[in-house]
Amino acid sequence: ETYEWARKMAVDALEYDDEDGANPAGALEEILEAPERLKDLDLDAFAEELERQGFGNKSITLYDIRAELNSRYKDLRQPFHSANPEEIFDMLTKETPETFYIGKMVTATVFGIARKKPKPDQLDQANPVRNDETGLWQCPFCLKNDFPELSDVWNHFDAGACPGQATGVKLRLDNGILGYIYIKNISDKPVANPD
């Protein structure tokens, strides 16, 4: 259908009357030889007429047709350029180096704790510790410390209930960026279990 619109544009630009028996294909050839005659066309009015006829908003299409008839086969797109580091930073964070930088104090919400499950050979060599004050046993990996009997710690291993040693915390900054803080970086003081 857009080919018909191109022919109609050519006939309108050449101001043929209906009784002249205009040949749309010939008009198109004539326009290709003298495309400057297209610049006086009221494409917005043509687009309104097409929309009224139920074709939808074709304004951009009509301007593209005129551009193609003016400069056949010309690539009208902007040349590609690679994004610079600041543009990439903006695409990924929706922030600028002025609003989000190393050392800036930010707030975040912790949404999970990352853990490393113990391997079978580590479980076999595990050495649960008993707290002398409470008399309860502690898992050396997840640091759960409420086991009344040593056998309960081993049952904890055998059942696959040990989530493993905490390695860090997963968090979401207020601007939506996801983050991760390793256990060793959570505090100036040693943190064994961030729970």
Nearest to 7 by CA among 39, 40, 30: 30
pLDDT at residue 108, rounded to an integer: 92
Nearest to 181 by CA among 117, 111, 118: 111
**pLDDT tens sequence across 73-114:** 888 888 999 999 999 989 988 888 888 888 888 899 999 999
**pLDDT tens sequence across 5-29:** 888 888 888 777 655 556 777 888 8
H helix runs in the chain, sequence order: 2-13, 24-33, 43-52, 59-70, 85-93, 120-124, 150-158
Compute the distance between CA of residue 57 and CA of residue 118 in angstroms, rounded to an integer.
62
Nearest to 49 by CA among 61, 37, 59: 59
Nearest to 195 by CA among 137, 160, 144: 144
Contact 162, 143 (CB under 8 A): no
**pLDDT tens sequence across 170-192:** 999 988 889 999 999 888 888 77
3-state SS class at 49: helix
172 Cβ partners below 8 Å, 6+ apart?
A: 108, 109, 111, 178, 179
Nearest to 163 by CA among 107, 103, 115: 115
Compute the distance between CA of residue 187 and CA of residue 40 in angstroms, rounded to an integer.
71
pLDDT at residue 93, rounded to an integer: 86
Around Cβ 127, how many Cβ atoms within 10 Å? 6
pLDDT at residue 163, rounded to an integer: 93
Phi first, then psi: give them for residue 178, nearest 5 degrees. Answer: -85, 145
pLDDT at residue 19, rounded to an integer: 54
193 Cβ partners below 8 Å, 6+ apart?
A: 142, 143, 166
Q: Residue holding tokens 């301007």?
A: 63
Q: Where in the chain is the domain with CATH 1.10.10.2740?
A: 2-70
pLDDT at residue 119, rounded to an integer: 92
- Alpha carbon distances (Å) from 113 to 16, 142, 148, 164, 168: 76, 11, 26, 11, 6
pLDDT at residue 22, rounded to an integer: 64
pLDDT at residue 21, rounded to an integer: 59
The answer to whether domain 2-70 has CATH 3.40.50.720 is: no
- Mean pLDDT on 31-47: 83
- Mean pLDDT on 115-122: 92
